[in-house]
Amino acid sequence: MMHFENRGNKATRLGFGEGVLEAARRDSRVVGIGADITGSVSMDLFAKAFPERFFSLGIAEQNCMGVATGLALSGKVPVFSTYGVFAALRTTDQIRISVCYNNVHVVIGGAHAGISVGPDGATHQALEDIAIMRVLPNMTVLSPCDATQTIIAVQRAIGNMKGPVYIRFGREPVPEFTHEHQEFQIGKGQQLKDGNDISILATGHMVWEALQAAYQLQQEGIHARVINIHTIKPIDEEIILQAAHETKAIITVEEHQIMGGFGSAVAEVIVKNHPVPMDFVGINDSFGESGKPDELMKLYGLTRETIMTKTQSLFYKKETFI
């Protein structure tokens, strides 16, 4: 496996906007819906290029979902984006009944996800959106790891999918480390680093931190496998179970509540098919707070150091479970 390098930092929200714009150029059915924060979620790229296909409906997220459903039933491919706390939580009823129950092709962008949104504080930090979106029937849930992967994920979600799709992305610039010609398939994880001592499964912005932790652990003699799970639903059971069989211990890493989130999704696969020792890195049943993004990530243990500590601990304990 190659050693991934940071080519520079770029916000995944920019990747989302660029992906929507490119998809819209390819398909005239694509329409955009905004909720008064068009620039913040990078939907302004689409709005400027195709003003006749963009509808700003104001701060009325539930109404936006109803309109999106109507547009989808009329043959359009609507893309709606706002902050994740509003896209996933304020509109849950409308997504469940209007979008998912009808199984219509609506693409929902959950922007500013995670605690790294920073100073806006707990009210704007989407830490429960994965849990809510993944339990809804017919919903696909994507969590790309960098801006390049976000561009690809968005284009595939718009152009190749049917039914509702939720795409989670962030506000702050994060390392760009995947290639534009990468092998990307919705529903299939990506093994980024070899290792048979233990597996680190990560999603979203935490994939980079997981890689850095694994590189450092290797210097200490622990060879950790790193897997990027960019599709949380449908989750790639094959790659998870292969990791369980071959490394016999799994750490999950997410910028989200541990309960009900990505780690829970992995645990559901493990406990049913091949139980192995697990541990979890994420938000531990807590709201966030206002602060600088990097300070909050450290405060809540969403760092490579925490990943290393938990990986080391589980690695040395796993023999007692075998």
List pLDDT tens digits, range 274-289.
999 999 999 999 999 9
Percentage of the chain exceeding pLDDT 90: 96
Burial of 312 (0-12, 13-18, 19+ CB in 10 A): middle
Domain 190-321 in CATH 3.90.1170.50? The answer is: no
Same fold, 9-175 and 190-321: yes
Please tell me the predicted confidence (pLDDT) of residue 1: 54
Distance between CA atoms of 173 and 165, rounded to whole angstroms? 24
The CB-side HSE value for 54 (13 A sphere, CA atoms) comes to 21
Please tell me the predicted confidence (pLDDT) of residue 241: 98
Do the strands 173-175 and 9-11 form a parallel or antiparallel pair, or are they unpaired? antiparallel
pTM: 0.96
SS (H, E, C) 150-215: HHHHHHHHHHCCCCCEEEECCCCEEECCCCCCCCCCCCCCEEEECCCCEEEEECCCHHHHHHHHHH
Report whether pLDDT(322) > 60.
no
The CB-side HSE value for 206 (13 A sphere, CA atoms) comes to 36
Report whether pLDDT(131) > 80.
yes
Average pLDDT over residues 166-188: 96
Residue in this structure with the two tokens 């199984």, named with its chain if needed: 103
**Greater pLDDT, 3 or 213:** 213
Segments in the chain forming alpha helices (H): 12-26, 44-49, 61-73, 84, 92-94, 129-134, 147-159, 206-219, 237-247, 262-273, 293-299, 304-317
Domain residue limits, the chain:
9-175, 190-321
Dig out the tokens for 240 from the structure.
Answer: 């998870």
Q: What angle do CA 129, 285, 167 make, to 5 degrees?
A: 15
Please tell me the predicted confidence (pLDDT) of residue 48: 97
Q: How is domain 9-175 classified at the CATH fold level? A: Rossmann fold (3.40.50)
Report whether pLDDT(296) > 80.
yes
From 258, 257, 240, select the one nearest 249 (Cα to Cα).
240
User: What is the pLDDT of the chain when averaged over all its residues?
Assistant: 96
Please tell me the predicted confidence (pLDDT) of residue 193: 98
Q: Are 257 and 281 in contact (CB under 8 A)?
A: no
List pLDDT tens digits, range 207-216.
999 999 999 9
